[in-house]
A and B are shown apart, each in its own frame.
Chain A
Amino acid sequence: DIVMTQSPLSLPVTPGEPASISCRSSQSLLHSNGSSYLDWYLQKPGQSPQLLIYLGSNRASGVPDRFTGSGSGTDFTLKISRVEAEDVGVFYCMQALQTSITFGQGTRLEIK
């Protein structure tokens, strides 16, 4: 299975400031069709995870444009341009290249 590693695991951020989360995979997530099979999810407190970014850089429907996904191969980044209070929760990256999908450990974003 592909191992996904996120950093940092804890991310205290002042509202209005930017934030960045890194995700690395143990093997390339580049599909033969040219897309990177890497998604980002946010699990807000007490809720189910929700899709933020799919195929590395595509925002899901309704996701604010302050969230940006980038990267390729084995290195990916989720950036939040200006953190808001509603962004509190745990962010997960997930590889979907293999049928046996795997997740990163999660990055907990908290407001300072």
Chain B
Amino acid sequence: QLQLHESGPGLVKPSETLSLSCTISGGSISTTTYSWDWIRQPPGKGLEWIGTLYYNGSTDHNRSLKSRVTISIGTSKTQFSLNLGSVTAADTAVYYCVRRVRRGGCLDPWGQGTRVTVSS
């Protein structure tokens, strides 16, 4: 059964870069059936899509985040990462990595989430 696990620092200073990794157990990025997404949830708020990574390394991201987002395949096909630059307090959130079905687009499964706070 596929599982996803996020990891990274829980505290990031304003203007710095938030860097997270997602480790895939029981699968890999290689399959064309799925893409691999980052979703975030600010405290007490709803869900916001950050971006998606395809098997070939290409990506799409939320235009509201402009050019601050970089999503990439990790050192192995069982890991991918999120870099979010020039962070502010508004980027404080729980960050989830998720597998996305390319045909139909549903998100399943989700990682357990990792809480990131932006503060000096």
Q: How many residues of B contact A (CB 8 A)?
A: 22
Asked if B16 is an interface residue, CB under 8 A from chain A, the answer is no
User: Which of B46, B49, B110, B111 is close to A100, meaning CB atoms less than 8 Å apart?
Assistant: B49
- Whether a CB of chain A sits under 8 angstroms from the CB of B105 is yes
**Distance in Å: Cβ of B59 to nearest Cβ of chain A:** 10
A28 on the B face (CB < 8 A): no
By secondary structure, the A interface counts as loop
A37 partner residues in chain B, CB cutoff 8 A? 104-105
Question: Which residues on A sit within 8 Å (CB–CB) of B37?
Answer: 101
- Evaluate contact between A39 and B106: CB separation under 8 angstroms: yes
Q: Out of B47, B60, B101, B105, name the residue touching A103 (CB < 8 Å).
A: B47
A92-B46, A102-B49, A103-B46 given as contacts; is B96 within 8 A of A51 (CB)? no
Picked from A94, A99, A105, A106, the residue with its CB within 8 Å of the CB of B107 is A94
Query: Smallest CB-CB separation from A95: which chain B residue?
Result: B105
Decide yes or no whether A15 CB sits under 8 A from chain B: no
Contact A54 B113 (CB under 8 A): no
Determine if A51 and B106 form an interchain contact, defined as CB atoms under 8 angstroms apart: yes
CA–CA, A104 and B109, complex, Å: 19
A-side contacts of B101, CB under 8 Å: 54
A residues within 8 A CB of B96? 48-49
Report which A residues bind B (CB closer than 8 A). Answer: 35, 37, 39, 41, 48-51, 54-55, 60, 92, 94, 96-97, 99-106
Which 6 A-B pairs rank lowest in CB-CB distance, beginning with the nearest? A96-B105, A54-B106, A48-B110, A51-B108, A103-B47, A101-B49
Apart from A49-B107, A100-B62, A100-B63, list 5 A-B contacts with CB within 8 A.
A39-B107, A48-B96, A49-B96, A103-B48, A106-B47
List 15 A–B pairs whose Cβ atoms lie within 8 Å, in order of A's numbering: A39-B105, A39-B107, A48-B96, A49-B47, A49-B110, A50-B108, A51-B107, A60-B108, A92-B46, A92-B47, A94-B47, A97-B105, A99-B52, A100-B63, A105-B46
